Amino acid sequence: MQATGMTSLCGESVDGDKARCRVEFWTNFGPIPDRPYMTSSKLYLDVWSDFVCPFCYLEVPVIDQFKNTYGDAVEVRWHAFELRPEPASAIDPDSDSLQETWENSVYPIANERGLLLRLPPVQPHSRKAFETAFFARESGRFDVVHRAIFKAYFEDGIDIGDTDALLDIAATCGIDPESLEEVLLGDELTDAVIEDEEFAKKLGVTGVPFAVLSRDGVGEQEPPPPIALRGAAPIEHFEAALGRLFPEGFSAA
């Protein structure tokens, strides 16, 4: 894995509750699979994140800005990555290390990006939250539910590991709570979460947020290697990656 020496920022890793403070360009893996090659004008942005990671929430406005700049020329796809899947124990919200991470990293970046985050009183598992968002995707409501879950947890302190809480959040977003409850009580969408995480492992992902930018080839010409950004990368890093993937220029759709 090769770093470009870009400015360090913070992301959260599975190997500890302290922030991982670096952003890297990674180009040591091939194109994202399971996607038909189409035109050269499309940029694909695949993002792995966790609902209980503050740095992932902090990345949402950056990705929104990037998407709004280029419109339909950018296809954003969010993927699941549980930092602490069951049966891993939850982090103590009162731990000194967590408090330090928030004071030194989370709050400063939140101020820069116009978000008002609060350290949640609970540190739940996020599997059911992902299943809720994936269920919403089937009815075209993923984006609104995705944001609502993040906001409920990091701004309102709601336990997003609680099924009833997720049903309430989804209902406010136009999702039928009875249909969702049936899914959450079973394992219908569990495989989708696990599939995202298994793919992340193949890419060598150990922390989130983790974004991969890629493009299609042109005719018989192979596309350039995908570029990955690790951590709460600013918009300038996405623009720099875009420039490397599209040296001929890139236009909004």
Cβ neighbours of 153 (radius 10 Å): 27
Average pLDDT, the chain: 86
Structure tokens at 62: 């950056």
At residue 40, the pLDDT reads: 58
Query: Residue 23 and residue 208: Cα distance in Å, rounded?
Result: 11
Task: Cite the DSSP H helix spans in the chain.
Answer: 54-70, 96-101, 107-113, 127-137, 142-154, 163-172, 177-185, 190-203, 235-245
Please tell me the class of the 10-245 domain: alpha beta
pLDDT of residue 132: 99
The CA distance from 45 to 64, in Å, is 12
Low-confidence ranges of the chain (pLDDT < 70): 1-40
Output the pLDDT for position 191: 94
Residues 6+ apart with CB under 8 A from 141: 173, 174, 175
Tell me 222's DSSP state: P
Domain ranges of the chain: 10-245
